[in-house]
Amino acid sequence: MLSIVILAAGQGTRMRSAMPKVLHGVGGRPMLQRVIDTARSLEPAAIHIVHGYGGQDVRAAFPDGDLNWVEQEKQLGTADAVHAALPVIPDDHRVLVLCGDVPLIAAETLHRLLDRAGYNPALLTIEMADPTGYGRILRDPDGQVSGIVEDKDAQEDQKAIREINTGLMVLPAGPLRRWLADLSNDNAQGEYYLTDVMASARRDGSAIHAVTTDSASEVQGVNNRVQLAVVERAWQWRIAEGLMRGGVTLADPARLDVRGSVTTGTDCVIDVDVVLEGEVRLGTDVAIGSGCVIRDATLDDGVRVAPQTVIEGARLRAGAQVGPFARLRQETDLGPATRIGNFVETKALTLGRGSKANHLAYVGDARIGEGVNIGAGTITCNYDGRAKHTTVIEDGAFIGSDTQLIAPVTVGRNATIGAGTSLRRDAPADALTVGTGRQRTVPGWSRDPDASS
């Protein structure tokens, strides 16, 4: 049986933030969330999260019932943190130690570690060009791991060792209880080091297994915002790579940001500086122009989004075209082959097949049928200062430019609304409705007051 302990009690002072470190986001989600998701994928018997500073904020961010929260009152070191969780872990469990600030660790690597460990201690190590600051792995002449020495406690020759402790390890719960009881904090930092249990294990006659990874990003910890950015870029690259391998062309994989999850069909093309947030679903052959921000949206096959368009909470059906400079807000549902052009804002709009609003319009709280043309400058006046009202436009209607549709109002099938109309009452089907004053010409009138006699 497996128990997972996620260490998250560190203060994170170097983030210089009012927010607890593990709540800072990577790819749009708190880093602790990423570690929890990976932990869950291993299907452990229990997940224990050790928290300290800002614990209430951290707990509140993860209300799920499968998490056991353990408070470490004082940050006396990593061994003390694991010790805090140990009372509720049965002796026959294996304890996998993860860190809330090492967010990109992959489940596959952890499986490798667990497979190698059996019921022995095992740790995940990596070779580093510059190992400064990390615990160094000590090995016997025959290659067996004999212990870990922390950077601050290391002798000069030990500092030259480039294989370091990632901090991720698996330990058998029963013996661990014993080994932890033996530890002292007589070291450079005056802390109880979890790393010291390796030497205790060795004295106990346990073999210590080491699994080495070559993925620096997987084991990259976040102590400050520079490392946060490093981890963010690594994550973004991972996502971009997945998209490209799945048949998506990225104009520049370094200039796409996915802050959430995205699914795609093949032959999508995404230009530079696009941000996808929340849950975004793209069909096949979807093209997204540069500078678009798309959040919680579904774009069906063949959709075209021209540059600088912002989409949030919308569904775009096959072949719909939007932008440039369009803004689709929540509950927008564009039918197949529809067209939304520049400087058009939509909200709670259902637009039927083939209908279009090509320029400068606000279309909100509206149900619009098929084959409707919305002229430039059209506004659905949906709000009377107190409540929102609906505009209904039936199939085939033509709305002239600069029309105000004062809701609630209905435009009948194939009706035509003359340009400049303020439509206050329903417009009947198959007829022209014009609401502007009659045009008049004053002969001989001049702009120059002195010239007119």
Catalytically active residues, by annotation? 359
Burial 314-331 (b: 16+ CB within 10 A, else e): bbbbbbbbbbbebbbbeb
When the beta carbons of 14 and 29 are compared against Ca ion, the nearer one is 14
When the beta carbons of 154 and 262 are compared against ligand UD1, the nearer one is 154
Q: Is 179 in the site for ligand UD1 (CB under 6 A)?
A: no
State which of residues 57, 68, 119, 221 lies at the interface with Ca ion (CB under 5 A): 221
Place of tokens 């022209």: 432
212-217 long-range contacts (CB < 8 A, ≥24 apart) are 212/124, 212/125, 212/126, 212/127, 212/163, 213/109, 213/124, 213/125, 213/126, 213/166, 214/126, 214/127, 215/106, 215/109, 215/126, 216/126, 216/128, 217/104
Q: Tell me how far, at minimum, the Cβ of 192 lies from ligand UD1, in Å.
A: 8
Q: Is 224 in the site for Ca ion (CB under 5 A)?
A: no
Q: Is 333 in the site for ligand UD1 (CB under 6 A)?
A: no
Q: Is 109 in the site for ligand UD1 (CB under 6 A)?
A: no
CA of 417: how far to CAs of 161, 366, 368, 430, in Å?
80, 16, 14, 10
Candidates 70-78, 86-94, 110-118, 250-258 — which segment interacts with ligand UD1 by CB under 6 A?
70-78
Q: What string of DSSP letters covers 185-216?
A: --STT----GGGHHHHHHHTT---EEEE---T
When the beta carbons of 21 and 93 are compared against Ca ion, the nearer one is 21
Q: Is 307 in the site for Ca ion (CB under 5 A)?
A: no
Considering only residues 408 to 427 of the shown chain, the ones binding ligand UD1 according to CB under 6 A are none
State which of residues 4, 9, 274, 322 lies at the interface with ligand UD1 (CB under 6 A): 9
Q: How far apart are CA 294 and CA 289, in angstroms?
A: 11
> Of Ca ion, ligand UD1, none, which one sits near residue 100, judging by CB under 5 to 8 A according to partner kind?
ligand UD1
Considering only residues 115 to 174 of the shown chain, the ones binding ligand UD1 according to CB under 6 A are 134-135, 148, 150, 164-167
When the beta carbons of 166 and 421 are compared against ligand UD1, the nearer one is 166
CA dihedral over 14, 20, 26, 31, signed as positive or negative: positive
Q: How many chain residues interact with ligand UD1 (CB under 6 A)? A: 27
Strands 136-139 and 145-149: antiparallel
Write out the residues near ligand UD1 by the rule CB under 6 A: 7-10, 50, 72, 75-78, 80-81, 99-101, 134-135, 148, 150, 164-167, 193-195, 221
Write out the residues near Ca ion by the rule CB under 5 A: 221
